[in-house]
Amino acid sequence: VILPRFRHTLRSMSLIDCAGLETPVVQSTILQSLGMQKCPNLDSLALDCPCLTSLDLSQSTYVNVELWGLHKKLPRLKLLSLAGNDVLKYAVVPSPSLLEYIDLSGCSSLMSINISCPSLHHLRTDECCKLEMVSIQSFAIKSLDLSNLPLLLVRIHCPCLLNLKLNSCEGLESKRCSIICPSLRDVDIRGTLLFSPEDFCDSVSVRCEWIGSL
């Protein structure tokens, strides 16, 4: 157990590059921020922190990322970073998660993302060189950058989304792209085989008169 004597008083904890951690368990009733970047032995990490709002596990080996259970043990979590994780293959975050910010950038083994977070404002996926499937549902996100990814399947249901970048997603075909974003204004599909501007308007649930940068 990590620092058990402080678990009822400690609000923020940073454990960076702690190679000696083995089967760590973090339990706290008031901890709000936890950073465990560059920790190599987090495949058995157990968290029970009902007040935690920020969790940074970037560049850490965290094999068993059970994201679908985070809303139960970390019900107030708003910020999650798994950037640079080279073993994570699937990221599934279901509703009713309160996550607002998710960083999956540099996850070199990541193949699939399935996120349903009503409060999600920001998602980073840059340098995910094996990412083939993305499914996102959010009522808050307004800008989404999925450019330069090897995507084969995209499902986006984000009624408040204004800006979407799909440029240089060379493998994405129109029949594998479902976009329901009635507020969409700016779309970048340069360098793709997706659509002509007319086909894009016919294939997705947007109003063409609002699209400014096809």
pLDDT value, residue 204: 57
pLDDT value, residue 72: 77
pLDDT band at 210 (very low <50, low <70, confident <90, very high): very low
Of 13, 32, 10, nearest in space to 24 by CA = 13
Name the token pair of 21. Answer: 């951690």
Task: Give CA–CA dist 103/119, Å, rounded.
Answer: 15
Whether the per-residue pLDDT at 17 is higher than 80: the answer is: yes
Of 60, 77, 59, nearest in space to 68 by CA = 77
Of 200, 199, 169, 171, nearest in space to 186 by CA = 200
Whether the per-residue pLDDT at 207 is higher than 50: the answer is: no
- Contact between 33 and 16 under an 8 Å Cβ cutoff? The reply is no
Share of the chain above pLDDT 70, in %: 82
Of 133, 81, 141, 134, nearest in space to 107 by CA = 81
Across 36-50, 61-75, 129-143, least confident range: 61-75
pLDDT value, residue 211: 47
- List the beta strands (DSSP E) in 166-206: 177-180, 186-188
Whether the per-residue pLDDT at 213 is higher than 60: the answer is: no
Q: What's the whole-model pTM score?
A: 0.87
Q: Tell me which amino acid residue 14 is.
A: S
Mean pLDDT value across the chain: 83
Average pLDDT over residues 22-40: 86
**Antiparallel, parallel or unpaired: β 54-56 and 79-81:** parallel
